[in-house]
Amino acid sequence: MNRRVFVKLGILGAGALTIPLIHCRSNDAYSISLMQPAFLSQICEEKVIQEIGLALRKLKPELQKKETIVRTLMTTLDDKKIKPKTSSEELEKIMEQKIQSDFKNGKTIILKGWVLSETEAYQCALFSFSYNKQ
């Protein structure tokens, strides 16, 4: 199973993730690109991704607010804000680049045993809000 499907189903089932408009557009594709750790969702069940996300939020209490997570995710590699007009495909590409960069620069974190890029860990944290609603 291509696990990427589960987020779409989850979101559509529970209603769109309410990502603050100030940071980006609020539509399903866009939310998926932001909160779905693309690689991890190919190898993990959604429950695992949720658990990882909750573990990060427990570790960093400031991430109890999804605005904080979104703000961190919505930056480019050179720490600039991602423009609201950025397409979901482009957003996904930026996330992928950030993940690669994390691994290259040792910006990794171990959550529930998984050695993850910090960016994908934040994606998991964002996902955990959505999953809780289901």
Which one of residues 114, 127, 129, 131 is an interface residue with other proteins (CB under 8 A)?
114
Q: CA Rg, the chain, in Å?
A: 13
CB nearer to other proteins: pick between 6 and 114: 114
CB nearer to other proteins: pick between 10 and 37: 37
Rounded CA separation 8/29 (Å)? 8
Number of residues that bind other proteins (CB under 8 A): 19
Query: HSE (CB half, 13 Å, CA atoms) of 7?
Result: 30
- Under 8 Å between Cβ of 38 and 4: yes
User: φ and ψ at 114, to 5 degrees?
Assistant: -80, 130
Under the binding rule (CB under 8 A), the answer on residue 115 touching other proteins is yes
Alpha-carbon distance values, 112 to 1, 59, 83, 94, 124 (Å): 23, 11, 33, 25, 12
The site map against other proteins for 27-66 (x = CB under 8 A) is: ------------xx-xxx----------------------
Under the binding rule (CB under 8 A), the answer on residue 117 touching other proteins is yes
Chain residues binding other proteins by CB under 8 A are: 39-40, 42-44, 99-100, 102-104, 106, 108, 110, 112-117
